[in-house]
Amino acid sequence: MKLNKIEFMLVNNPLRAVIQEKYELKILRNMSNLKNIETALEIGCGNGNGAKLIKKYFNPKTIVAIDLDDKMINIAKSRNKDSSITFKVMDASKLEFPQDYFDAVFDFGIIHHIPNWKDCIKEIKRVLKSNGELILEEVSIDSFSKGVGRLWKILLDHPYRYMFTAEQFAQYLRDSGFIINDFKTSNPLKFIKYFSLNAIKL
């Protein structure tokens, strides 16, 4: 599912990049014990900022960053000067990679855009190596039920009918063969409630 105009402006705002690095990445880095990462995957890479931060804070040897929107991939490619990062147009629920391929998979708030989000989880599990880590931050239907979240629900174009609660998401990961190593909810500046988690594939 591609971003509408409002969300496109939000994710490409320079302030978003600052918050992502100064607040969100610190939480995710503290959740993970991964070292010496060979290959990492970022789903829903957008303009490429997330991939740069993954490189900076997790230092994988190579990163493949995908997005369904070819416009975002073109932006990411135009901004990328690092040959260890590859950007591709791809559906996160139909990953074109071999089984047990990645040491880590990163998601900066994309899975909630996917109506068939369980297929995305299945694909992430398939391409992750045993003991590989899923490192993510996500919003859920809970994020849009109170306060300013109700306004975001009007402005943003999401598949609300199919969206998970935080608990449903965590439980589906467990049922799919992941161990949740860490889980944290946040609501910086009362902007929007979201959760961060680290899950390990059995």
Closest CA to 25 of 161, 124, 137, 193: 137
State the pLDDT at residue 30: 94
* Whether pLDDT at 160 is above 60: yes
**Higher-confidence position of 20 and 124:** 124
Compute the mean pLDDT over every residue in the chain, rounded to the nearest whole number.
90
Mean pLDDT calculated for residue range 100-122: 96
Single out the residue of 178, 65, 64, 162 nearest to residue 121, CA to CA: 178
Q: How many other CB atoms sit within 10 Å of the CB of residue 26?
A: 11
Contact between 2 and 68 under an 8 Å Cβ cutoff? The reply is yes
Q: What is the pLDDT of residues 31-86, one digit of tens each?
A: 998 888 999 999 999 999 999 999 999 999 999 999 999 999 999 999 999 999 99
- The tally of domains found in the chain comes to 1
Question: Which residues are registered as beta bridge partners of 107?
Answer: 43, 136
Asked whether the whole model's pTM tops 0.85, one would answer yes
Domain CATH number, residue 28: 3.40.50.150
Question: Residue 198 contacts by C-beta under 8 Å, 6 or more apart in sequence?
Answer: 28, 31, 32, 133, 134, 135, 180, 181, 182, 183
Which residue range forms the structural domain that includes residue 55? 5-201
